[in-house]
């Protein structure tokens, strides 16, 4: 029914939002290593400078690798009469919501999301507690497109309308 392709969160946005403190730590390790290597502290061995650089590199690379893998494995898409959100690197979680069960959706943008140009979409169904799908770190454009297509599809589903409105005209 839908022509929308599978969408993934943006790895750079994910990294900036979730690993900014690790990036600051890595930068501090690189600066400390540079300070030690340039003999600002002459009594300290140069092996410590290399240790600082290695520690900063390990932190930065591991965070970047996790952000990349997370965003490659997380996917939001329509499949027939359902919307599906899959997430997980080691353990895989697949949430499937039938379109006729959707009662409301919510688009949320925190201050960090506004700066980074990302958003979160939450999808709720009848009878559930809380939101069944919470997909975050997608670009604003992708979230708006998913929301618009989702609302168009939900409004077309006769099961989602009251009895009188769900019946085709005679």
Distances (CA, A) of 158 to 43, 89, 100, 161, 168: 78, 37, 8, 5, 9
Q: Going by DSSP bridges, is the β-strand pair 75-79/82-87 parallel, antiparallel, or unpaired? A: antiparallel
Predicted TM-score (pTM) of the model is 0.75
Which residues does 94 contact at the CB level (< 8 Å), separation at least 6? 84, 85, 86
Q: How would you write the pLDDT of the chain (170 residues) with one tens digit per residue?
A: 355 689 999 888 999 999 999 999 999 999 988 887 776 655 567 778 888 899 999 999 999 999 999 999 999 998 888 889 999 989 999 999 888 888 888 899 999 889 999 999 998 887 767 788 899 999 999 999 888 888 887 777 555 445 554 455 55
Q: What is the CATH number of domain 75-159?
A: 2.30.29.30
Residue 142 tokens read as 């992708």
What b/e readout covers 32-48, taking b as 16+ CB neighbours within 10 angstroms?
A: bbeebbeeeeeeeeeee
- DSSP reduced 3-state for 108: strand
């Amino acid at each position: 029914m839908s022509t929308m392709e599978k969408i993934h969160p943006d790895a750079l946005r994910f990294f900036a939002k979730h690993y900014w403190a690790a990036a600051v730590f890595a930068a501090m390790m690189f600066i400390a290593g540079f300070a030690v290597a340039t003999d600002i502290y002459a009594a300290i061995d140069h092996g410590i400078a290399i240790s600082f650089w290695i520690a900063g590199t390990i932190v930065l690379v591991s965070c970047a690798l996790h952000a990349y893998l997370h965003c490659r494995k997380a996917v939001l898409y329509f499949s027939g009469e359902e919307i599906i959100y899959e997430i997980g690197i080691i353990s895989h979680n697949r949430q499937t919501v039938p379109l006729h069960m959707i009662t409301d959706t919510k688009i949320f943008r925190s201050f960090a999301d506004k700066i980074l140009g990302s958003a979160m979409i939450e999808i709720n169904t009848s009878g559930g507690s809380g939101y069944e799908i919470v997909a975050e770190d997608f670009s604003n454009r992708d979230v708006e497109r998913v929301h618009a297509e989702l609302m168009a599809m939900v409004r077309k589903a006769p099961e989602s309308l009251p009895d009188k409105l769900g019946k085709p005209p005679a």
